């Protein structure tokens, strides 16, 4: 970055332009000061971000968070995802006419199994003893889609957000796999955490 002294303008001695160049010099000085302030804020934000990333240590290396000293609390997380498709495919699912079998039941089982194996899929997740997993699939005819919602519970030292998100993701993938022979244009999207409670960070509720 150029230094302020490189921007300095030497004002001419003629009275006619002296005021103009004095103003320009002041303006450039103000811009230089603003740039320094922005750089300072950016560095501060980057430092704070690094501090907040619990999976990165002080050297910038990845780590599995040490939860040994944490107290066990009731942890709950809810997640949602959407599977969009044409009306014909949605109708086949609802009537149980998909060749591979019952799509809703298979997707629910897949989601439950995935939630229990999250630590084997996501590298830095802790293995957890889950105490409850609920998955609901709701057919939305108006928008030609299936809305998947999961709720995962445990009593432990770390949250179950990843388990809830994994459950929704794999349930959605299972719907695609069950129906891809009929429709390969199915879209999986809008996978998100809806709520979480328990632990030091407290409660999170996604606002609409």
3-state secondary structure (DSSP) of residue 92: helix
For residue 121, the model assigns a pLDDT of 93
Residue 10 domain boundaries: 4-49
Instruction: For residue 61, indicate whether it is catalytic.
Output: no
Residue 18 lies in a domain: yes
For residue 115, the model assigns a pLDDT of 98
Q: Are 125 and 119 in contact (CB under 8 A)?
A: yes
Say which CATH number the domain at 119 has: 3.30.70.640
Query: Do 93 and 39 lie in a common domain?
Result: no
Candidate list 25, 119, 134, 177, residue with the active-site label: 177
For residue 49, the model assigns a pLDDT of 46
Residue 152 lies in a domain: yes
Q: How many domains does the chain have?
A: 2
Residue 13 lies in a domain: yes
Residue 126 lies in a domain: yes
Let me know the angle formed at the C-alpha of 157 by 57 and 49, rounded to the nearest 5 degrees. Answer: 30
| pLDDT digits (tens), the chain, 208 positions | 445 454 454 555 566 566 666 665 665 665 555 555 545 545 545 544 444 666 666 777 767 777 877 889 999 999 999 999 999 999 999 999 999 999 999 999 999 999 999 999 998 899 999 999 999 999 999 999 999 999 999 999 999 999 999 999 999 999 999 999 999 999 999 999 999 999 888 999 999 7
Query: Do 126 and 178 lie in a common domain?
Result: yes
pTM here is 0.72
Residue 67 lies in a domain: no
3-state secondary structure (DSSP) of residue 139: strand
Q: Measure CA 98 to chain center.
A: 32
Query: Do 12 and 94 lie in a common domain?
Result: no
User: Hey, what are 130's tokens?
Assistant: 């889950």
Query: Do 108 and 199 lie in a common domain?
Result: yes
Query: Do 183 and 100 lie in a common domain?
Result: yes
Angle between helices 161-179 and 103-116 (to 10 degrees): 150
Interatomic CA distance for residues 119 and 70, integer angstroms: 19
Residue 8 lies in a domain: yes
Listed in order, strand segments (DSSP E) in the chain are: 73-84, 130-140, 145-156, 187-197, 204-205
For residue 17, the model assigns a pLDDT of 63
| Among candidate residues 80, 51, 70, the one with its CA nearest the CA of residue 164 | 80
Residue 199 lies in a domain: yes
For residue 31, the model assigns a pLDDT of 54
């Amino acid at each position: 970055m150029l230094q302020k002294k490189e921007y300095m303008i030497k004002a001419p001695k003629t009275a006619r332009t002296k005021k103009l160049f004095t103003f320009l010099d002041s303006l450039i000085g103000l811009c230089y000061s603003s740039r320094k302030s922005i750089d300072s804020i950016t560095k501060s934000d980057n430092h704070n971000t690094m501090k907040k990333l619990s999976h990165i240590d002080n050297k910038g290396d990845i780590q599995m968070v040490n939860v040994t000293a944490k107290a066990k609390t009731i942890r709950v997380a809810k997640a949602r995802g959407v599977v969009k498709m044409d009306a014909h495919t949605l109708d086949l699912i609802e009537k149980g006419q998909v060749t591979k079998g019952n799509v809703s039941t298979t997707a629910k089982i897949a989601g439950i199994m995935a939630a229990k194996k999250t630590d084997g899929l996501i590298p830095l997740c802790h293995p957890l003893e889950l105490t409850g997993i609920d998955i609901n699939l709701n057919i939305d005819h108006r928008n030609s889609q299936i809305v998947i919602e999961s709720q995962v519970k445990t009593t432990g030292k770390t949250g179950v957000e990843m388990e809830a998100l994994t459950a929704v993701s794999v349930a959605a993938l299972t719907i695609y796999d069950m129906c891809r022979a009929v429709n390969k244009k199915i879209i999986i999207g809008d996978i998100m955490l809806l709520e979480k409670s328990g632990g030091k960070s407290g409660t999170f509720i996604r606002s609409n």
